[in-house]
Amino acid sequence: MIMQDPHREPIPLSEAEVGSCYRVLSVNATGVIRQRMLDMGLVPGVCLTVLRFAPLGDPIEIRINRFFMSLRREEARFVQVLPVAICPRPHHGRFRRFFRGGFFHGGR
């Protein structure tokens, strides 16, 4: 199991770990970018899972409920998140983490 200390410090989404779950604390971007994030459901209080970084390492893909969304690190910096222990998808366990990034990424 991914056991994260629920009292850990909030971090920006850009530094989040692949495969882990987070709760959105605040969206500090300005102007239209923030409106865009809010409109797409990246609202304080929602739970998200970090799915992956793009092959070249930049945009990051997250899942909010059943919605897949991607944003660049530079935009993700403005989103403060708190690691949460309970992941809505329970089988994201150690096994997956072990193989993450390897060729068996997609396997069970």
Partner 1 sequence: MDVSAVSFGGDFFMADDKQIFIALAGNPNSGKTSIFNCLAGANQKVGNFSGVTVEKVEGSFRHRGYTIRLVDLPGTYSLSPYSPEEKVARDFILFQKPDMVVNIVDATNLERNLVLTTQLMDLEVELLIVFNMIDEVEKQKTKIDYRQFEKLFGAHVIPVSAITQFGIRDLLDHIVDIKSGKIETLKYKHQYSDGIEEDIRALSDAIAGRTAWKHLPTRWLAIKLIEHDPDIIAMLKPFPCWASIEESIGSTREKILRFEKKDAEVLLAEERMAFIRGAIKETVVNDEEQRESLTEKIDNILLHRFLGLPVFLLIMYAIFQFTFRLGEYPMLWIDRFFQLITRSLDALIPASMLKSILLDGIIAGVGGVLVFLPNILILFFCISLLEATGYMARVAFVMDKLMHRLGLHGKSFIPMITGFGCTVPALMAARTLRNRGDRITTMMVVPFFSCGAKLPLYTVVISAFFAPSMAGNVLFGIYIFGVLIGLISARLLKSTAFKDESEPFVMELPPYRKPSARSMLSQTWIRAYMYLKKAGTVILLASVIIWFAGTYPKNAELHRHYESLRQQAAADIVSLDRQEKAQQLPYSFAGRIGKFFEPLSRPLGFDWRLNIALINGLAAKEIVVSTMGTIYAIGDVDSDFRTLAESLRSDPHYSKATGLSFMIFVLLYVPCIASVAVFFRESSSKKWTFLFVLYTLSVAWLGAFAVYQISTLLGL
Find the shortest distance in angstroms from Cβ 4 to partner 1: 20
In the 8-state DSSP scheme, what is residue 106? T
Distance CA 67, CA 56 (A): 22
Q: Which of 55, 58, 85 is nearest to 71 (CA)?
A: 58
Q: Considering the rule CB under 8 A, would residue 10 count as an interface residue with partner 1? A: no
Q: Considering the rule CB under 8 A, would residue 27 count as an interface residue with partner 1? A: yes
Q: Considering the rule CB under 8 A, would residue 94 count as an interface residue with partner 1? A: no
Q: Considering the rule CB under 8 A, would residue 68 count as an interface residue with partner 1? A: yes
In the 8-state DSSP scheme, what is residue 14? G
Find the shortest distance in angstroms from Cβ 5 to partner 1: 25
Query: Site for partner 1 (CB under 8 A): which residue of 8, 10, 15, 72?
Result: 72
Q: Which of 94, 96, 2, 18 is nearest to 105 (CA)?
A: 96
Q: Considering the rule CB under 8 A, would residue 82 count as an interface residue with partner 1? A: no
